[in-house]
């Protein structure tokens, strides 16, 4: 029987939500082994003064197997 643990990661990108999720997952995988899945719980953006999107943000829930 496998036991999984879930951590929460906040990540951002100036390109897209997909890129923000990929960056968060890539960074987490440097210190967390046996990652099984990632769930995007929340998405948000920050804006510039003239109403343009400045930054895409995601809140990821990453699950991994405990050894």
Predicted pLDDT at 67: 83
The answer on pLDDT for 57 being more than 90 is yes
Confidence (pTM): 0.86
Here the CATH number for the domain that contains residue 53 is: 3.30.1660.10
The answer on pLDDT for 1 being more than 90 is no
58 Cβ contact list (under 8 Å, min separation 6): 10, 11, 12, 17, 20, 21, 24, 40, 42, 43
Domain tally for the chain? 1
Work out the percent of the chain whose per-residue pLDDT is above 90: 96
């Amino acid at each position: 029987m496998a036991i999984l643990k879930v951590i929460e990661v906040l990540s951002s990108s100036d390109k897209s939500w997909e890129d923000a999720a990929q960056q968060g997952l890539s960074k987490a995988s440097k210190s967390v082994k046996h990652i099984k899945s990632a769930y995007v719980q929340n998405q948000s953006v920050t804006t510039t003064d003239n109403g343009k999107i400045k930054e895409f943000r995601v809140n990821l829930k990453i699950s991994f197997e405990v050894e």
